[in-house]
Amino acid sequence: MTPPSWPEQLNPRIIRCWRGRWPPGSVEPARYLYEHELVVVTEGICTVRVEKTAHRLSAGEFIIIPPAKHHITTTADDGVCRSCIHFDWMHLPDRPATPICCFLPDRPDPNRIIHPPAWAQHPLPPGSFARQGPVPGIVDQLFKRWAGEDPVEAATSRSLMQELLLRLLWSQSGAQPAPQDRATHLAYLVKDLLDSHIDKPASVRTLIAGLSFTYEHLCRIFHAKFSITPLSYLNARRLERARTQLPNPRLTIAEIAFANGFQDAGYFT
């Protein structure tokens, strides 16, 4: 059995959000994080050095900084505006709170570091970044919901975080979209046709002939999804509809039979 892909397992928890503008020449001292941090540059240019690798980021670019890796951020001549989101790849609300960071020469407490699950290594190697499209709009909405007083809005900020990570990482990770369940789609097409013709005398074979698949194939799919054959389902729907009409003294058995697609009143009886 194929294990779920990382997009199917992604269920992020936002730990904290902060954003701001840093003037030209600003230097943030070397520090360690306890969880992952997504940094999105919305204006200006900055350089983020993670361990020994420097990443120059301009507007529209992002970096995901992993925990327990020391990093330094410096801004260029025009300064920089950044939006920063500390997050965990999985929503586990019972995890204890962590500090924002610790600065060198101190080292983070190894017992408090939030390590990513194994599948989170696939979307993007730690310390990588890529240019992306209309990310700031989602980031603005996320910050607004996260900081709002409405608890429902705050809760839905997690879904925006999930969307944001998917939009940023999908193309870099080589993830493939989940295959469409065409069998279920076909089964429901058959069901819709049967539901819309319970009062018609047409046979099941005639009703589903226009779906461009063999009658036998469609019957197998329908039975696999609904545990009943199309004919049994159609008869059950017709009989249920007829049962609601039987108490009406103005209708004969034959009239009720014909009104529900039964051509033989004796068979209906």
Query: Above 90 in pLDDT, residue 73?
Result: yes
Average pLDDT, the chain: 86
Q: Which residues contact 158 (CB under 8 A, 6 or more apart)?
A: 12, 13, 14, 91
| Per-residue tokens: 94 | 């019972």
CB atoms within 10 A of CB 164: 22
List pLDDT tens digits, range 3-38. Answer: 677 888 899 999 999 999 999 989 888 999 999 999
| Per-residue tokens: 41 | 């540059």
List pLDDT tens digits, range 176-187. Answer: 555 667 888 899
With a pLDDT cut of 90, the percent of the chain lying above it is 48
CB 264 within 8 A of CB 202: no
- pLDDT of amino acid 32: 95
Query: Above 70 in pLDDT, residue 94?
Result: yes
CA distances from 183 to 188, 222, 245 (A): 9, 8, 35
- What's the predicted TM-score (pTM) here? 0.68
- pLDDT of amino acid 265: 85
> Is residue 127 left, alpha or beta, with left meaning phi > 0 and alpha meaning psi from -120 to 50?
left
- pLDDT of amino acid 179: 60
If you average pLDDT over residues 241-247, what whole number do you get? 91
Which residues sit opposite 82 in a β-bridge?
Answer: 20, 41
CB 82 within 8 A of CB 18: no
CA–CA separation, 28 vs 75, rounded Å?
Answer: 9
Taken as a whole, the chain contains a residue count of: 269
Query: Above 60 in pLDDT, residue 108?
Result: yes
